Structure 1
């Protein structure tokens, strides 16, 4: 499974690169803090594949990287080949990029 660091993600955001960010945390977690990704909770990831791009890079994130890895494994079984897991999730984002962001 391909992975991306929070520093690499921040660089993509800063550079305005064309990619999609998917956040697979639950709605209440997303409402507490998010970095602008599309919210598709893990339980609905296979139901909402029509919202996930197949023709540009997709970064999948969660709180720590475990749920996003599970989402990627499910999506790769559906034929997706353009996915990357955000290492450490939003906890790593807080630790390394934005210490002001709320996490739980």
Structure 2
């Protein structure tokens, strides 16, 4: 896992053709808005989270975020332990995100 600042995350994501954005927040949090293109898998779902993650391509680069950066750091650790090569945690999470947002009416 690499911790990336908002700027680093945004810049690296733009250049990465092998990127997958993972939102590990709850459905209620996602309703407040999300980063466009994000795949939503709630880390609080425990075993269901692990089962969903197992379906993902281990050769992709995963840019993971939550509300504040704590759950996404946990998610990065889980993916790392499952053999995913590249995981990137968004420091400060969605609450500090200044990029594009979808779904926040």
Range class of TM-score, shorter chain: 0.7 to 0.9
Instruction: Label 1:6 to 1:81 Cα distance change in 2 as closer, same or farther (>3 A).
Output: same
CA RMSD of aligned residues (A): 2.6
Q: 2:62 aligns to what?
A: 58
1:72 aligns with 2:73: no
Matches within 5 A, 1:5-16: 5-15=5-15
Residues in 2 aligned to 1:34 and 1:54: alpha-carbon distance in whole angstroms: 23
Unaligned runs of 5+ in 2: none
Please list every run of 5 or more consecutive structure 1 residues that lacks an aligned counterpart in the other structure. Answer: none
TM-score (norm: length of structure 1)? 0.78
Q: Aligned partners of 1:24, 1:101: CA distance in 2, in Å?
A: 16
Q: Is the 8 A contact 1:20 1:53 kept in 2?
A: no
SS at match of 1:52: coil
